Amino acid sequence: MNSASSTSLRKLRVPAYLAAFLLLVYPVLDTLVPALPLHPGVTQWRYAVVLALGGTIINPLLAMLILLGVSIMSEDRMITIAVSSVSVAATLILVIATGMYALDSVQLHGNVAPQMNSRFVAVSLWTLLRFASAALTMAIISVVGIGAVRRQSAVTAQTTGRSAMLVGTPARRPAADSTPAEAHAGAR
């Protein structure tokens, strides 16, 4: 990356992180705050909350993508690790939410008036598709983030001559520079 783009990225980094964080948090809060008090044991409440979250699921996905992109481009290893970790957790939550929503839909289907049956099924399937695709996208974001962290570690190891796995490990001399006894000892 050239000096001008590196300087521009440093200036953009903090506002991008803040905007992405707000894009991540506000839709979730906008959905959950009106749903208070929490009633996770009530099937209708769970169904309605997941249905409402399904309408805003794209915003957190975009937020995570922005966070990941900015952290990779600015080589913020800790932010990349955090985004990857949150993405893994979000993937698990989305997979669980998708399964629970499917079960809640089946359970509530019997309570739907016959004239609303096709609409209920269509909305339920659309929401399931949104959550399943969000889980897949979040999984991809986590894999890309983990790969970026590994590449950053490898580049750091190459430039410093140290092991990527052990911080502070001194670089080994090539076997050609050592005596046969040292080469044998270094191979262990």
Please tell me the predicted confidence (pLDDT) of residue 159.
Answer: 76
Q: Provide CB contacts within 8 A for 149, sequence distance 6+.
A: 77, 80, 81, 84
Tokens of 36: 């208070």
- Helix, strand, or coil here: 74? coil
Please tell me the predicted confidence (pLDDT) of residue 160.
Answer: 72
Structure pTM?
Answer: 0.75
Please tell me the predicted confidence (pLDDT) of residue 163.
Answer: 55
Span between the terminal Cα atoms of the chain, in Å: 39
Q: In angstroms, rounded to a whole number, what is the distance separating the alpha carbons of residues 111 and 188?
A: 68
- The total domain count for the chain is 1
Please tell me the predicted confidence (pLDDT) of residue 148.
Answer: 94
Per-residue pLDDT of the chain (188 residues; tens, 9 = 90+): 566 666 777 788 999 999 999 999 999 899 889 989 989 899 999 999 998 998 899 999 999 999 999 999 988 899 999 999 999 999 999 999 999 999 999 999 988 999 999 999 999 999 999 999 999 999 999 999 999 999 988 887 777 766 555 555 555 555 555 555 555 555 54
